[in-house]
Amino acid sequence: MLIKSPNKILPSEITPETLYHNRRQFLQHLIATSATLAISNLVQAKGVLPPAPDTSYLKTLPHIKNHPLSTDESPTSLAKIISYSNFYEFGTQKSDPITQAHQLQISPWQLIVVGEVEKPGIIDIDDLLQKFTLEERIYRLRCVEGWSMVIPWLGIPLNEILKRVRPTSKAKFVQFNSLFDPQQMPAQQQHVLNWPYTEGLRIDEAMHPLTILSVGLYGKTLPKENGAPVRLVVPWKYGFKSIKSLVKIRLVEKQPLTSWEEAAPTGYGFYSNVNPKVPHPRWSQAKERRIGELTKRNTLMFNGYADQVATLYQGMDLKKYF
Ligand SMILES: Nc1nc2c(c(=O)[nH]1)N[C@H]1C(S)=C(S)[C@@H](COP(=O)(O)O)O[C@H]1N2
Ligand SMILES: [Mo]
């Protein structure tokens, strides 16, 4: 059996990619040996296909369209964005969030901004929706597992928030935390990652105009599966940097340890810039499958955002700082 049951997986192997990869190899093996019809029946019978997403709770948001930093590639369908999602607090399968994330209470929601700042603050997300003008940014998202999507996010540049709290001269990095609440996020009852999910950026990456705090997509508030009510989006980095259901932003002097670095330091570096020339220890990063397409595309340096961000890394060895 190529698929290991959870209790046979060593802690060192617990990464989404292992599970996903094994399942993919298993499915590819099936494709090679059986008729296509039989496979789709099997996939359906095993419940791999997720249920139709519930979007009835989403609210329409006012926003500006056609931001110049948007891609003109066609967006992935809303149903696919919702149902094909990594959100480990609800389970390690792509289809777990759609069956589990409805438990999350998203209003009221507070995001605190603390650390090396002159004016620490608490942002009420319902308030943010009233007071800020939201922009639509159509960005590519490239997952480290080899798939990609195009998502019409709604949000504000993260630098609008960071400037308001007035970073001190010691603020060199920014640390981000997702919610920790095992009652609402059942997979936090297990040690899949060191909860809460933690990410980090260098201060210039966090201040970059491409980096946004997203509060919506496709013209409405964020689906719970995609990190409601507020998440980070950093389009030139692998998807896992774009941390969901954010509750804390801390400006710090030293480079923070991220959950994925802590879980598997050889596979997930602090920078995690999309780079087709730096493979993951167990697979290549040269190509990607855009969800909804059959043939693979070549992965672009910095996920296609090199014109905007390459200067941030001038003089750095990107094999060392992967
Ligand atoms: N809190 C939290 N944020 C997270 C994750 C997660 O498991 N927990 N998964 C990451 C990964 S691996 C990816 S690819 C993106 C996927 O975001 P999307 O499904 O909303 O497009 O979310 C990222 N943010
Ligand atoms: Mo990912």
Which atom of ligand 1 approaches the CA of 86 most closely? 9
Q: Is the CB of residue 54 less than 8 Å from the CB of residue 101?
A: no
Residue 9 has pLDDT above 50, yes or no: no
Q: What is the pLDDT of residue 22?
A: 43
Ligand 2 mean position, distance from CA 164 (Å): 30
The answer to whether position 31 is within a domain reads no
Q: What is the pLDDT of residue 39?
A: 39
Burial class (CB in 10 A: 0-12, 13-18, 19+), 121: middle
The answer to whether position 42 is within a domain reads no
**Ligand 1 touching residue 175 (CB < 6 A):** no
Angle in degrees, CA 135, 107, 137, rounded to 5: 15
Ligand 2 mean position, distance from CA 98 (Å): 16
How many CB atoms sit inside 10 A of residue 217's CB? 27
pLDDT digits (tens, 9 = 90+) for 152-209: 999 999 999 999 999 999 999 999 999 999 999 999 999 999 999 999 999 999 999 9
pLDDT digits (tens, 9 = 90+) for 24-64: 444 444 334 343 333 344 444 445 566 788 999 999 999 99
pLDDT digits (tens, 9 = 90+) for 307-316: 999 999 999 9
- Residue-range definition of the domain harbouring residue 125: 50-313
The answer to whether position 23 is within a domain reads no
The answer to whether position 40 is within a domain reads no
The answer to whether position 306 is within a domain reads yes
- Name the domain count of the chain: 1
The answer to whether position 18 is within a domain reads no
* CA-based max dimension of the chain: 64
Ligand 1 mean position, distance from CA 295 (Å): 24
The answer to whether position 20 is within a domain reads no
**Ligand 1 touching residue 242 (CB < 6 A):** yes
Domain containing 70 — which CATH number? Answer: 3.90.420.10
Q: What is the pLDDT of residue 15?
A: 41
The answer to whether position 302 is within a domain reads yes
Q: Which phi-psi region, left, alpha or beta, contains residue 61 (left: φ > 0; alpha: ψ -120 to 50)?
A: beta
pTM above 0.75, yes or no: yes
